[in-house]
Structure 1
Amino acid sequence: MAKRERDLTSKRAYRGMTPEQAAEAERKHREVLSILTGLLLVQFIGMLSSTIVSNAMPVIVAEIGGTQTHFTWILTSAILANTVMTALSGKLADLYDKKKLFIASMVIFSVASLLCGLATTPEMLIAFRVLQGVGMGMQIMLSMVIMATIIPPRERGRYNGYMGATMALATVSGPLLGGLIVDTPWLGWRWCFWVTIPFMLGAIWVILRRLQIPPVRSGKVHLDIPGAALIASSSVSFLVWISMIGSGMPLTDPTTLILIAVAVVSTVLFIVVETKSPEPLIPMEILLHRNTVLAVIAVMGAGTIMFGASVFLGQYFQYGRGYSPTASGLLTLPMMLGIVIASTWIGQLITRKGIWKRYVVSGMLLLTAAAGLLCFTRQDTNVIAIGLVLFAAGWGLGAANQNLVLAVQNTVPLRQMGAATSTVTFFRNLGGAVGLQVLGASYNAATDAYMVKELGELPEVPANAAGSLDLGALPDAVEAVARSAFGNSLWAVFIAATALLLVGSIATMFMKGTSLRDTVDIEKKIHRTVEEDEAPRASARPSSWEATPILPHDEADQNKPRTH
């Protein structure tokens, strides 16, 4: 026993503790890990369902007769449903039994995955992907809220590292698995959807057995249905408007004018409804907090690159350079490795130091620089150079993405944890959905312009082609020009992404660095403000601009911290 206690106190996580404190901390850690196993399994499957499709999309769209517009909407439809359900399920988590909601989300996801694999047309697949996005949005958000319910922010950095690594593992394995499935003749693309079902059934069994969550509130509850309907109306109208503009429809067309009018009116009405609702979907006081607003701006840029990079890099490697789906997945592996390493290591650093700003700002800046470098990618660019830049992009995303959510969670009480988490995640997913449309429209316009320049006009789709993205059905000379267009037009994707990320990086610089609180809920004292994360301590008593150290609760009660 004595040896075990010495071993615990020698660990970095328990350094400075007494043997008794270390033993208690280790016990709690093991309890959390037993619950976290189920949560991480569900997150893994949810992320896998997106990444496994992204690399297989060129094959899927070609086989079911889709176009570039279908290509984008098959992906966007799931993200859009995910986005709307993120906001709604975050509020549901504050009102109802989290465990029952969590299991319901997994059932919805499993049924939708079965239907997606049975789709025979692009329109059917888009519709079933909406249902899959509903389940996906609920399960990912609920897993984050459940984690925030049982773990204090100071310790959450440690577990966010596990979560980031799990999501990154899904991002790594998804494209590879998707590529292997579509490259295996006796499987086919439909198994990209069906392969997740057995794992989800296993996750349901784990959650039923292990997850126990005490109720947060009881009594009469109110669900903000009008708010959910308005936010869905606003999001859908805005994304359809972007899609039409990207397809070449004039801004003055009556349809586009009606869509943007619906989006604006729905947004205004949503704000009005939320200010009067007894249980608002997105509490306005959360959005009035400086760090939350700036985090929302930043995560929208991060969401764009998170959802868009693998999708359009898949098109670049497969259409532009002729790699197989499996090889394409391997070529995007450096980015995923960067996410895994950064999210795990930096999560540990945040837990140990109790601060987050320096890691978020540096991560966003590195991500922006990497996106800028990818603007120079051409059809003959060295793949090793591309891999190094993708690793840097993954590192930046791993450092910033999940820790922006943590920074917001640190500012709200437990009763608003679900709404605050869903607010930031909602805007991240909305950024991803909008980003896919914007980046897809940019890539489409650039490839069309390239082919018009080389051929004088856009080639017609042959009668034997499954769709406009079935490049193999084109005449050899035209196919070579089309592949060259995809290989030399990637700049259009990343120049738009760089602009969004630059705005997000500037936003993180203006966020107030805060020390992470040690309690699950905000009690009487709130976290201290750290104006500069590395501010030196010039005296024993910190001044107003210095970092105040994290104190045990009995000491914190004797020192009145500065609050927002």
Structure 2
Amino acid sequence: MTHREIMEALTGLLLAMFVAMLSSTVVSNALPVIVTDLHGSQTGYSWIVVATLLTMTASTPIWGKLADIFSKKMLVQSALVIFSIGSIAAGLAGSMSTLIGARAFQGLGIGGLTALVQVVIASMVSPRERGRYSGYIGAVFAIATVSGPLLGGLIVDSPLGWRGCFFVTLPVAVLAFFTLQKTLRLAVVKRPVRIDYAGAVLIMAGISLILVWVSLAGQSFDWLSGISVVLVGGGLALIAAAMYVEARLASEPVIPLRLFRDRTTALATGASVMIGVAMFAATVYLSQYFQLARGMSPTEAGLMSIAMVGGLLLSSIVSGRVITHTGRWKRWLVGGMVLVIVGLALLGSIDAHTPLAVVSAFMVVVGLGLGATMQNLVLAVQNNAAPADLGAASSLVAFFRSIGGSVGVSVLGAVLAHQVSGSVTEGIRGLARRGTISPEQIAEMQHSTGDIPKLDALPVPIRVLYENSFGDAVGHLFLVSVPFAVLAFICVVLIKEVPLRTTLAATADSDENVDQAADVAKEARR
């Protein structure tokens, strides 16, 4: 393909990637309004995010394998259709359960888009020329990350309401579909593959049962109960079965366990899980803090998110350029994790009365740390992997970061729900004892203390109580996240730095590495 043909096809691919990225960021500031409008709870708030993460994570490696069997163009377009159907269903949802189901279906399409865009670009462009076009991908990611929260806030405050956040991506998805139809022309190159459906299903089923237990225990049933035993026991059994399938039965497993023999891959994967917890704590629940603890509109909450995103973009760009120039990357990982730990600890001190300038400064610190850490962990793994394992090792880090994010959102959401519920219940009792509110006012509250209320409709004393409770609880979440960041820091420190390769390795070396990787894979299957 000529440069012009590549750029024409790349336009459709970048539109598809923009749709996938925007769908995650545009809804962040709409979540408090959505849950209030659909009479949801804090658990429902968490699962709107978790449902998409789980299906996206489970489907991403399957989409990659399908690309070796079917037309890549047809698969990207199919992912766009699935995403669009899920978006329409989410926008029309009349209940929390329907919305969560639609978000799970939407995640299937997002998984396809994020996986296939990279596969198609690799099919069009040689490795030597690929860096020439990677800047466009970075720019799209940055635009979606920066514009998503602000755009979502503006849409929620407009006549479109929160449902518009799900419809806004549809025109872009349609444009991407027809642009790809017109410009993308790839030969269908097939190779024999075996898709590890069993491994993907078992892994996600096991994790889902654990997350359901974490989300509902202490509210719908006791932590120590028969239901807890069933959920935890079932989840662990499914995960154990998944590990057996991955190690013994799957010829091309979703998680190639042999890669964990490499120290860098194992440590970077562990760090990615912990960073996933910290990253989603910062992005998902800060929006709730600004709207429920500080009384901001979704638009104002979107403007506040620029502080963290700006820090993330700055450090990712600067660290990337310096690493390219020097070939040294570990100092950025270590320094980035130090900033993440410090930033989370500082955010752990916030409450409903902390000056917004101070909160923004703390957010910048976390953003700077995440930007210097996330992508550079992938770089460290790629630099250490054999050429034959490059794709598997790279996807492994992203896979476990998504799992860490799913676990983090669910666990931290359960902690937040428990703390807010307990604080509000105790506070209402105190207000009643002091005569600040009347029994009639309490009776007028159309929700339980575990729900997310519409603050404007509450009596002033109860509204203030909720704001203070959310402010204190979100600050506590960041303190809970600090130990996870410390574990990630320990993993990063233990990684051995290998200077970045300046080539993809000589042909002989590459062939030797491929042969060695194939031998290891055969031995692992035995």
Common fold, TM-score beyond 0.5? yes
Per-residue deviation at 1:402? 1.6
SS at match of 1:514: coil
Q: Does 1:286 align with 2:262?
A: no
Q: Which residue of 1 aligns with 2:518?
A: none
Confirm or deny: 8 A CA contact 1:164 1:344 kept in the other structure: no
Q: Does 1:428 align with 2:401?
A: yes
Confirm or deny: 8 A CA contact 1:152 1:518 kept in the other structure: no
Q: Which residue of 1 aligns with 2:333?
A: 360
Choose which of 50, 69, 75 in structure 2 pairs with 1:101: 75
Q: Does 1:382 align with 2:366?
A: no
Q: Which residue of 2 aligns with 1:48?
A: 22
Instruction: Name the % identity.
Output: 39
Per-residue deviation at 1:333? 1.0
Choose which of 22, 31, 35 in structure 2 pairs with 1:61: 35
Can you give the 5+ residue segments of structure 1 that lack an aligned partner in the other structure?
1-26, 527-564
Q: Which residue of 1 aligns with 2:427?
A: 454
Can you give the 5+ residue segments of structure 2 that lack an aligned partner in the other structure?
433-441, 511-526
SS at match of 1:396: helix
Confirm or deny: 8 A CA contact 2:221 2:227 kept in the other structure: no
Q: What CA deviation, in whole Å up to 9, does each residue of 1:455-493 have, x standing for no partner?
A: 337996846569642233322221111111112222221
SS at match of 1:247: coil
Q: What CA deviation, in whole Å up to 9, does each residue of 1:318-376 have, x standing for no partner?
A: 11111111111111211011122222232222333333222222222211211111000
- The aligned amino acid for 2:467 is R
Distance 1:463 1:522 in 2: 71
Q: What CA deviation, in whole Å up to 9, does each residue of 1:170-210 have, x standing for no partner?
A: 222111111111111x2111110000011122223344455
Confirm or deny: 8 A CA contact 1:90 1:422 kept in the other structure: no
Q: Which residue of 2 aligns with 1:312?
A: 285
Q: Does 1:174 align with 2:148?
A: yes
Q: What CA deviation, in whole Å up to 9, does each residue of 1:471-528 have, x standing for no partner?
A: 33322221111111112222221012211111111111111223333455884437xx
Q: Bigger shift: 246-255 or 370-379?
A: 246-255
Confirm or deny: 8 A CA contact 1:342 1:399 kept in the other structure: yes
Q: Give the alignment of 1:176-325 within 5 angstroms.
A: 176-184=150-158, 186-211=159-184, 218-245=190-217, 247=219, 249-275=221-247, 276-325=249-298
TM-score (norm 1): 0.80
Pair 440,47 (structure 1): closer, same or farther in 2 beyond 3 Å: same
Q: Which residue of 2 aligns with 1:511?
A: 495
Q: Which residue of 1 aligns with 2:474?
A: 490
Q: Which residue of 2 aligns with 1:110?
A: 84
Confirm or deny: 8 A CA contact 1:363 1:400 kept in the other structure: yes
Per-residue deviation at 1:422? 2.5
Distance 2:197 2:126 in 1: 31
Confirm or deny: 8 A CA contact 1:149 1:414 kept in the other structure: no
Q: Does 1:76 align with 2:50?
A: yes
Confirm or deny: 8 A CA contact 1:154 1:517 kept in the other structure: no
Distance 2:123 2:255 in 1: 18
- The aligned amino acid for 2:407 is V
Q: What CA deviation, in whole Å up to 9, does each residue of 1:110-141 have, x standing for no partner?
A: 11111111111111101100000111122113
Pair 274,464 (structure 1): closer, same or farther in 2 beyond 3 Å: closer
> Number of paired residues?
499
Per-residue deviation at 1:296? 1.2
Per-residue deviation at 1:262? 1.6
Distance 2:10 2:390 in 1: 18
Confirm or deny: 8 A CA contact 1:303 1:428 kept in the other structure: yes
Q: What CA deviation, in whole Å up to 9, does each residue of 1:384-414 have, x standing for no partner?
A: 1111121121121111112212222334455
Q: Which residue of 2 aligns with 1:15?
A: none
Per-residue deviation at 1:222? 1.4
Q: Which residue of 1 aligns with 2:418?
A: 445
Q: What CA deviation, in whole Å up to 9, does each residue of 1:276-324 have, x standing for no partner?
A: 3222222222222211111111112222233332321111111111111
Per-residue deviation at 1:148? 6.0
Q: Bigger shift: 232-241 or 443-452?
A: 443-452
- Which one has a larger percent helix, Structure 1 or Structure 2? 2
Pair 160,448 (structure 1): closer, same or farther in 2 beyond 3 Å: farther
Q: Which residue of 1 aligns with 2:459?
A: 475
Distance 2:156 2:505 in 1: 47
